[in-house]
């Protein structure tokens, strides 16, 4: 919730990061972000949403950004009774927003009586960055779909390169860059394989920084399917990529 429409991506990023962190806890099933975004403007009641999505609990909140500060309000609702189980408001400097995201995820899971263990807690992802500027660039890049025109794809790559210039150890940016650089091969416009080589370089960095991350695995899948498949599709035999 902000007067500047161009900052809406920031709230989207906070939403998705909290959802991603919670989805890594095996005791909680998370409804996808795509399924819930339709309720952003036209909000049915908690019980109606629960029935539509077969959800026992709802997490709702808002993000207000002003200058270098952010206010994040989050509440956990029992959808069957419409009762608030937990609520919290965070007023933080933007530099602390990453810690807030993880804190919200942990507290929501605790409110759901999830049995935590060191193994579960270790699943909270560590592919982010401490740089707010790099994070902003990453969020802007993530809003650009691979299915956009080539010009938009180039913009996505530039944003990610700028983010990695700031923080070369930003694993999430390397993961997304590997996907972005694979797409031209799939479109048939990577004649010399330059983009595929850059995709493989980005994947190498993602593996180095976050070898066990599911997003690194997804990036590898993109490189194999979007990138390498094009160069093996004309093969005489039905070889399998491994």
pLDDT in tens, 126-137: 667 878 788 888
pLDDT over 90, % of the chain? 20
* pLDDT of 238 higher than 50: no
Q: CB count, 10 Å around CB of 136?
A: 19
- Confidence at residue 29, expressed as pLDDT on a 0 to 100 scale: 84
Tens-digit pLDDT profile for residues 187-235: 888 878 899 999 999 999 999 999 988 889 999 999 999 877 755 444 4
The DSSP output letter for 223 is I
The DSSP output letter for 211 is T
- Confidence at residue 93, expressed as pLDDT on a 0 to 100 scale: 81
Mean pLDDT confidence for 173-188: 90
Q: Which residue has the tokens 């850059």?
A: 198
Mean pLDDT confidence for 140-147: 77
190 contacts 148 by C-beta, under 8 angstroms: no
Q: Where are the beta strands (DSSP E) in the chain?
A: 57-66, 69-78, 83-93
Token readout for 6 is 């161009």
Q: Label residues 146-159 b or e (16+ Cβ within 10 Å = b).
A: beeeeeebebbbeb
């Amino acid at each position: 919730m902000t007067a500047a429409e161009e900052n809406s991506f920031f709230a989207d990023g906070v939403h998705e990061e909290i959802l991603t962190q919670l989805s890594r806890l095996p005791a909680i099933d998370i409804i996808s972000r795509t399924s819930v975004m339709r309720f952003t403007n036209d909000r049915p009641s908690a019980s109606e949403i629960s029935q539509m999505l077969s959800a026992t609990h709802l997490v709702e909140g808002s993000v207000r950004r002003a200058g270098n500060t952010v206010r994040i309000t989050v509440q956990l609702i029992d959808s069957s009774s419409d009762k608030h189980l937990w609520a919290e408001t965070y007023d933080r400097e933007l530099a602390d927003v990453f810690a807030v995201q993880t804190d919200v995820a942990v507290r929501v899971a605790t409110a759901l009586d999830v049995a935590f263990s060191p193994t579960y807690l270790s699943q909270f992802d560590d592919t982010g960055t401490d740089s707010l500027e790099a994070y902003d660039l990453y969020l802007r890049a993530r809003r650009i779909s691979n299915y956009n025109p080539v010009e938009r794809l180039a913009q996505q790559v530039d944003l990610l390169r700028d983010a990695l210039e700031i923080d070369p150890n930003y694993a999430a940016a390397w993961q997304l860059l590997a996907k972005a650089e694979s797409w031209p091969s799939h479109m048939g416009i990577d004649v010399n394989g330059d983009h595929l080589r850059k995709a493989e370089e980005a994947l190498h960095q993602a593996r180095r920084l976050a070898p066990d991350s599911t997003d690194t695995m997804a990036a590898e899948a993109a490189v194999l399917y979007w990138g390498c498949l094009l160069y093996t599709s004309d093969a005489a035999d039905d070889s399998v990529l491994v």
